[in-house]
Structures are given as structure tokens and as C-alpha cells.
Amino acid sequence: MVRELRSAEFPLADEVWRDYHGMTGDPGRDRIFAVFLAGRIVSLARCRRHPDGSMEVDGVFTPEACRGRGYARMAVSALVVACHNDDLYMYAVESLAGFYAEFRFISIPERDLPPAIRERYTWAAGNMEGAEVRPMRRRAGL
């Protein structure tokens, strides 16, 4: 089953993300979509609203033991339907660009990212290939 987490459930996601850069959710600006199996979270995807209103997809994570079963696809699929009224942006890991393309994400030049999202990778100084990430955008719509 896939569903959006309620605010009180955000710590459950934080627990799963502990192995993923120690990422945490903020109920004030995040929507988190989780795939549950036997009451346990097996995959996560986050959509963050930045102060300028831009929406960034990140935190797509499936614990090692649960991979290869399509759970991440379920989580991302739920996210893009739930958040389809906005353009969605992301820094996709280079090797997963094809996966995101299935959800109508297309590669864009980094300059086309909203400034609030671009700030996250200022350390890469424009060298996206070196950072092994690719800026992508999904136009609003189902």
C-alpha cells in the first residue's frame, strides 16, 4: 500500500532515511509518500516546497533489503500524481535519469532550475557530471 504520511508519521520516515544522508522531513514544507509492506515502510519519496514556491523531488529511497521489487516506482508514481499540479524539479542521480524519465521528467540545464533548488548544489560549481547528478523537470499535469 502506498499513501502520504501524516505529520505525526514523519519520524517513521526520518528513521528510514537515517541511512540516506541522515535526511529528515519537515511537516511545514514537505509531503512524504511511503510504500508500506506489513506495516513497515519499504520505500519513500519526498516533495519539498521551497520558499519561492518551487517543488523539489528528493529523498527517493528504498532500504537495501527491499530493493528490486518496484517499491520506489510506487512511491514516485504516487508523488507525481499527488503533486502534479505544480512543475516538479529534481537533481536525479545520473544512473536513475532513465527511471525518472518514465514519469515524464526530462533533463534540463542547471540554469533552468529555480534558484532555491539550484542552491543545494552550488558546491559543484556547475560541474553536474562530476557530481553525478542531473537536473530534471516534470511539467505540471497528470
Partner 1 sequence: MNAGNPLAVSFSGTRNRIAAIAVLTALTLGGNLLGLLLGAPEGLLPLPALPLSIPIILASYWYPRRGLLFSVCLAAAYAVTVLLLSPPDPLLPLTILPRAVFLILIGGVVALLSSRLRESEQQMNQIIEFLPDATFAIDREGRVIAWNRAIEEMTGVKEEAILNRGDHEYAIPFCGERRPLLADRVLQSQGEQPQVLVSENTIPRLRDGKGAHLRSAATALIDANGNVAGAIESIRDVSDQVMMEAALQNASRQLNTLSGILRTDLSNRLAVLYGHLSVGVMKFDDPEILSFIGDLNNAANGIRRQIEISREFRDIGTSPPAWVPVQETVRQAAAGLTFGTVSLEVWTERLEAFADPHLGTVFSHLFENSLAPATGATRIVVTYHLRPEGCAIIVEDDGTGIPDAEKEGLFVQKAEGYGHGLFLAHEILAITGITIRETGTPGEGAKFELLVPSGGYRIV
Which chain residues interact with partner 1 by CB under 8 A?
3-7, 27, 31, 49, 78, 81-86, 142
Helix (DSSP H) and strand (DSSP E) numbers for the chain: 5, 7
| Chain mean position to CA 47 | 6
Nearer to partner 1 by C-beta: 103 or 121? Answer: 103
- From the CB of 72, what's the least distance to partner 1, in Å? 18
- Given a contact cutoff of 8 angstroms between Cβ atoms, the answer to whether 105 and 74 are in contact is no
Nearer to partner 1 by C-beta: 66 or 82? Answer: 82
- From the CB of 138, what's the least distance to partner 1, in Å? 15
Nearer to partner 1 by C-beta: 74 or 133? Answer: 74
- From the CB of 127, what's the least distance to partner 1, in Å? 34
Helix (H) or strand (E) holding 3: strand 2-4
- From the CB of 6, what's the least distance to partner 1, in Å? 6
Give phi and psi for 106, each to the nearest 5. -125, 150
Task: Mention every residue, 6+ apart, whose C-beta is less than 8 A from residue 133.
Answer: 91, 92, 93, 94, 121, 124
Nearer to partner 1 by C-beta: 52 or 64? Answer: 52
